[in-house]
Amino acid sequence: MIDHEVVRVFTGPRGEGGNPLGIVPDGGRVPGERARQQVAAELGFSETVFVDDASAGRVDIYTPSSRLPFAGHPLVGVAWFLRRQGREVSVLRPPAGEVPTREEDGTTWIRCRAAWATGRRTRQYGSVAEVGGLPAPPPGEGWLYAWAWEDEAAGRVRARGFPRRGDGIAEDEATGAAAVTLTAGLGRSLTVRQGAGSQILTRFHDAGTISLGGRVTPAGPRR
């Protein structure tokens, strides 16, 4: 097994929840899409990110079954990780394009184009209880982001994410790209409570961009 680190992305206010992210700091040790896909499948996280050039912010993202040009939770997580390694990176460069990043009051932020967050269907439910009562995963095919208002006036949402892609991930604890899709669709900033206790923050901007932020917690090295 390749040396890698694990962090929890989008942890709640008291450190609860958070979606585990695998980070391979030396991506050059795993050349080629086939080898990287195999590593991501073996690690089994919802996403694994390979750092190809820390100084330039060049990264490559994989689920257990596919390569992604953009994904929110890996980019927030790797931005936090690189800063803790002494890399003052201000822009990440996944295949989708340049993603500015910053930290503010313990929250790591990225800013992305809403159009990059594709392939995730959102469905509104009538109550938080309905969302909480869904099986994992619900019947059907394709990525589903199930959500309901906790407090519509305050922009607070309860959500759960179901990849339904047959790669062993029944439910995604915290899904940045889906939160971006929902924010763009509603046209407003949100505070999303997802999974067992994760918290995702979004900021709606003009010109088709969304800021996505959250807390990150180290989970320790894995080998």
pLDDT for the residue 220: 57
Distance, C-alpha 125 to centroid of its chain: 22
Q: Secondary structure of the chain: what % helix, strand, coil (to 5)? A: 20, 40, 40
Q: What is the pLDDT of residue 219?
A: 87
Are 8 and 19 in contact by the 8 Å Cβ rule? The answer is: yes
How many residues in the chain? 223
How far is 110 from 103, CA to CA, in rounded Å? Answer: 9
Q: What is the pLDDT of residue 159?
A: 98
For residue 138, count other CB atoms closer than 10 A to its CB. Answer: 13
Q: How many CA atoms lie within 13 A of 137 on its CB side?
A: 21
pLDDT of residue 23: 98
Contact 32, 135 (CB under 8 A): no
How far is the C-alpha of 35 from the C-alpha of 39, rounded, in Å?
A: 6
In sequence order, what are the residues at sequence separation of 6 or more whose Cβ sits closer than 8 angstroms to the Cβ of residue 14?
none
The answer to whether residues 207 and 5 touch, using CB atoms and an 8 Å cutoff, is no
Please report, as a single letter, which amino acid is at residue 41: A
The pLDDT profile of the chain, 223 residues, written as one tens digit per residue, is 789 999 999 999 999 999 999 999 999 999 999 999 999 999 999 999 999 999 999 999 999 999 999 999 999 999 999 999 999 899 999 999 999 999 999 999 999 999 999 989 999 999 999 999 999 999 999 999 999 999 999 999 999 999 999 898 999 999 999 999 999 999 999 999 999 999 999 999 988 999 999 999 998 555 5
d(CA 195, CA 115): 24
